[in-house]
Amino acid sequence: MKHPFADLIGLVFIEQGGGRSHCQLAVTEALFNPQGFVHGGVLYSLADTGMGGALYPLLQRSEYCATIEIKISYFSPVQSGVLTCESLVVNRGKSIVSLESQIRSEDGLVAKASGTFSVFRPRTAQTQGPSDSPRPSADNRSDE
């Protein structure tokens, strides 16, 4: 699947499936805040995108998902290395899904997040998105 924002920050999926995802990104100075540490928004984006990656393969072809809210706790600053994010679906209802993510560096746990996503079907073909093309089927989904 094409994911321009993930490409922008260097996020790549290693695994997706069964309500889980594993993604990572290499720390670069472009991701730093003014104090020289990885910006909290990058960690949030890693959790948010990881959660979406855990949920997306579970959706039916006609379904979409969107973040409702995420709560994140930051434990340790990061200046170098590779960040990994493990995300999983905790509970799935008809239209609301609860998820969790853990973000780690080589030194240990960096942040933990819990989120809620909405699962919905577009009302018209006009709401399919900027490309006006249908979503890829579950069989044809990829991370690229």
- The CATH number assigned to the domain holding 92 equals 3.10.129.10
pLDDT at 9 over 60: yes
Tell me if 142 is assigned to some domain: no
Tell me if 139 is assigned to some domain: no
Confidence of residue 132 (pLDDT cuts 50, 70, 90): very low
Tell me if 143 is assigned to some domain: no
What is the pLDDT averaged over residues 42-70? Answer: 97
Q: Do residues 28 and 42 lie in contact, with contact meaning Cβ atoms separated by under 8 Å? A: no
Output phi, psi for 141, to 5 deg. Answer: -75, 140
User: Which tens digit of pLDDT belongs to each residue from 104-126?
Assistant: 999 999 999 999 999 999 887 55
Q: Total domain count for the chain? A: 1
- Cα 39 to Cα 131: distance, rounded to the nearest angstrom: 31
What is the pLDDT averaged over residues 38-47? Answer: 98
Domain ranges, residue 107: 4-133
Between the CA of residue 26 and those of 13, 23, 51, 140, what are the distances in Å?
Answer: 12, 11, 19, 27
What is the pLDDT averaged over residues 53-70? Answer: 96
